Amino acid sequence: MAAGILNSVPASAMGSGTNLPDKSINDVISIKLPPLEQPTEKEQAVSSVSMPKDKRIGYAIVGLGNLSLGQILPGFGASKYGKPVALVSGDADKAKKVAAQYGINPKNIYNYQNFDNIKSNPEVDAVYIVLPNSMHEEYVVRAAKAGKHVLCEKPMATSAAACQRMIDACKQAGKKLMVAYRIQYEPHNRLAMEWVRSQKFGKVKVIDMMNSQNIGDPSQWRLKKALSGGGSLPDIGLYCLNTARFVLGEEPHTVIASTYSTPGDERFKEVEETVSWQMHFPGGAVVSAATSYGVHQSRRYRCYADKGGWFGLDPAFEYSRLQMEGSHAEGNQEIKIAPSIKEVQQFALELDHFAQCILDNKTPFTPGEEGLQDQKIMEAIYESAKTGKPVKLQTITTIDTFRGTPPKGDS
């Protein structure tokens, strides 16, 4: 394999941004207090680092469903570089209530018809698209055309072609585009990535992964192929796919897959219930993954290495309380380990990374190209399941090929 070439894709292709005239990363305020405990204890000196409220990146949230109300808007409570300044919803009454809860000016409420008017709203620096998958393309393009940077939920779209059009639109508008791959900003998963890359227990040669949940109401958009683009794979299986690529830094050259849906289950008339697939990577790693919409929730993975240890996360992809675990040999002992790191609000981390990229004119760590690559692999997985044959993908031997500037550590 060639030596890792970070950012081999030119930044221009990932959407560069002009700095905002009145907001800058240099405005950040940092307060540090001395530690209270012995130096042998966990590092825990309190530091309060954040942008002044009036210098933060203003976000418009597009779509007020479960994710926006349950995670993203509460996530701003822990954000240090962003703030919610506008809402876009088809339900004016709900939007009004939410605006009151979060102190958002009711004048900054939009609907899907007048959404393009954000162009003239200087409070909105960036737009966060939290809509059904099939609508991502339209709203990313409209946001870019309105001159706003765009953060888009995963999966990026429902086809590789759409992903490419979204990248092109942002590039043309000179605006940044980031796909909201929360896991790539989350500290436990980042530690796993570091342990893979630093070969803490040797080279990782096998990873097994599972992401499942038991989906309910058959009428929800996630189960309509035209809106979702697929079933468990693009919604939750994508975490396995994207996280495997992230921790390894490599791209799979071959996928082998099969799917299964329970006959007669009305939830799975249009989209698949369960997918199990294998991915082979250039460095020799084999990933064995499964995802299902039909069983109890479990979100886990383990990376098995060749010098006396393995490690992983369980749970791996939840919104909170992630747990790293591992096991390694020491003499005649086998030692299980469970490192824990400060609990964080994961959505705040991605909101802040994107805000920092805008303030500092950097390419996001997970730009549109990262989402496009996942979409290509998902299409290969479906093809393999359909044809019963391994599907080859373009062989890529560079590292972190589709990623931009890494997120800063805890600031």
Residue number with CB closer to a copy of itself (301 or 402): 301
Residue 280 makes contact with a copy of itself by CB under 8 A: yes
Subset of 352-391 contacting a copy of itself (CB under 8 A) = 388-390
CB 14 within 8 A of CB 363: yes
Residue 317 makes contact with a copy of itself by CB under 8 A: no
Residue 294 makes contact with a copy of itself by CB under 8 A: yes
Residue number with CB closer to a copy of itself (171 or 200): 200
Residue 10 makes contact with a copy of itself by CB under 8 A: no
Residue 327 makes contact with a copy of itself by CB under 8 A: yes
Look at strands 324-330 and 309-313 and give their pairing.
antiparallel
Residue 106 makes contact with a copy of itself by CB under 8 A: no
Q: What's the distance, CA 16 to chain centroid?
A: 20
The number of residues making up the chain comes to 411
C-alpha closest to that of 359 among 28, 121, 130: 28
Residue number with CB closer to a copy of itself (2 or 335): 335
Strands, DSSP E only, in 51-197? Answer: 57-62, 82-88, 109-110, 126-129, 149-152, 177-179
Subset of 186-205 contacting a copy of itself (CB under 8 A) = 191, 201-202, 204-205
Residue number with CB closer to a copy of itself (168 or 383): 383
Rounded to a whole number of angstroms, the CA Rg of the chain reads 21
Query: CA-to-CA distance for 348 and 70, rounded, in angstroms?
Result: 13
Q: How many residues bind a copy of itself (CB under 8 A)?
A: 106
Residue 16 makes contact with a copy of itself by CB under 8 A: no
Residue 164 makes contact with a copy of itself by CB under 8 A: no
Look at strands 286-292 and 274-280 and give their pairing.
antiparallel
CB of 78 to a copy of itself, least distance (A): 5
Residue 1 makes contact with a copy of itself by CB under 8 A: no
CB 283 within 8 A of CB 298: no
Residue 304 makes contact with a copy of itself by CB under 8 A: yes
The residues annotated with a catalytic role in the active site are: 154, 239
Query: CA-to-CA distance for 74 and 131, rounded, in angstroms?
Result: 17
Residue number with CB closer to a copy of itself (10 or 388): 388
Subset of 208-237 contacting a copy of itself (CB under 8 A) = 208, 210, 212-217, 220, 222
Residue 128 makes contact with a copy of itself by CB under 8 A: no
Q: Which residues of 190-228 are buried (b: 16+ CB within 10 A; e: fewer)?
A: bbbbebbeeebbeebeebbbbbbbebeeeeeebbbeebb
Residue 7 makes contact with a copy of itself by CB under 8 A: no
Near a copy of itself by CB under 8 A: residue from 74, 174, 282, 406: 74
